């Protein structure tokens, strides 16, 4: 079974981050370097873009205009409720039977296969504090596995979820699923920029950047600059040398 590795791309007026097709291209190259299992790359978007080696998928738009007063759009915070479409019972028709959703603002430094070669029908990145079960930066799912996230959604209930948990889609997912789902965390090498717990990771396999700065803002950082680059600027032998030098 081929695994779909997907990222989302949309334009949000007054958003605090301006994502570009160059970011998608670097994400593509990082995934290619670090994933050996059978997969296809996709970007979920309604923008008119074309990126070699990345399939463009037009996702449903039923949640595009839903806004939560608990998640301040006036501060440019990302409105991610559109990602709830991934939980629809028929999501496999457009995403494939098994898929990963991964944010663009990440740095991939080591093989992803140990993260994705698992039997769980649903795995999500663990919340960034003990008060948050999950973080929306990454999930792995068998299509339809947690369809109640989609079928039970109402804006009114999502507002209540936003009072309980931080975020838009991740607040709703946390509210509906509760604690106890399989997660990735520092023990898997999955970390986030600025976390005080990153020292617990055996290595930094994959780092996410919720909020600011983003990896493209930190090119002078040794570890980030080493890995956040397109394939034509990356050489494995050189990276091994630079790892020793940076360390």
Let me know: does 150 contact 66? Beta carbons within 8 Å: no
Q: Cα–Cα distances in Å, from 186 out to 8, 13, 134, 177, 218? A: 24, 34, 13, 22, 21
Structural tokens at position 181: 């789902």
pLDDT band at 68 (very low <50, low <70, confident <90, very high): confident
Cβ atoms of 137 and 102 closer than 8 Å: yes
pLDDT of res. 49:
97
Q: What is the mean pLDDT of residues 64-82?
A: 71
Which band of pLDDT confidence, cut at 50, 70 and 90, is reported for residue 156? very high
Average pLDDT, the chain: 91
3-class DSSP state for residue 101?
Answer: strand
Gap between the Cα atoms of 96 and 1, Å rounded: 9
Say yes or no to pLDDT of 98 above 60: yes
Lowest mean pLDDT among 2-11, 52-61, 63-72, 166-175: 63-72
Strand 55-57 with 98-102, pairing: unpaired
Which run of H or of E encompasses 186? none
pLDDT exceeds cutoff 90 at 203: yes
pLDDT of residue 52: 97
| Chain segment 29-57, per-residue pLDDT in tens | 999 999 999 999 999 999 999 999 999 99
pLDDT at 66: 77
Query: What structural domains does the chain harbor?
Result: 3-246 (3.90.550.10)
Instruction: State pTM to two decimals.
Output: 0.92
Residues 29, 48: Cα–Cα separation, whole Å: 21
Structure tokens at 41: 């790359």
Q: Residues 156-168: what's their mean pLDDT?
A: 88
Distance, first Cα to last Cα, the chain: 38
Q: What is the pLDDT of residue 244?
A: 55
Q: Are 51 and 142 in contact (CB under 8 A)?
A: no
**CA distance linking residue 60 with residue 46, whole number of Å:** 10
């Amino acid at each position: 079974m081929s695994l779909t590795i997907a990222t989302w791309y949309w334009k949000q007026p007054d958003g605090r981050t301006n994502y570009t097709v160059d970011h998608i291209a670097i994400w593509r190259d990082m995934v290619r370097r670090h994933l050996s299992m059978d997969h296809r790359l996709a970007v979920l978007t309604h923008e008119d873009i074309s990126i070699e080696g990345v399939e463009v998928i037009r996702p449903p738009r039923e949640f595009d205009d839903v806004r939560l007063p608990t998640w301040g759009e006036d501060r440019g915070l990302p409105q991610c409720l559109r990602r709830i479409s991934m939980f629809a019972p028929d999501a496999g028709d457009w995403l494939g039977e098994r898929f990963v959703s991964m944010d663009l603002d990440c740095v991939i430094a080591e093989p992803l296969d140990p993260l994705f070669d698992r039997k769980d029908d649903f795995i999500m990145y663990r919340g960034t504090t003990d008060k948050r079960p999950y973080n929306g930066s990454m999930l792995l799912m068998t299509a339809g596995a947690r369809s109640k996230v989609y079928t039970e959604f109402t804006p009114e209930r999502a507002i209540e979820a936003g009072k309980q948990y931080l975020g838009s889609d991740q607040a709703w997912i946390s509210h509906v699923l509760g604690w106890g789902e399989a997660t990735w965390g520092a023990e898997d090498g999955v970390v986030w920029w600025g976390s005080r717990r990153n020292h617990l990771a055996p290595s930094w396999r994959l780092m996410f950047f919720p909020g600011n700065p983003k990896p493209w803002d930190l090119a002078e950082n040794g570890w980030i600059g080493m890995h956040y680059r397109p394939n034509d600027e990356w050489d494995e032998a050189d990276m091994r040398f630079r790892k020793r030098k940076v360390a």
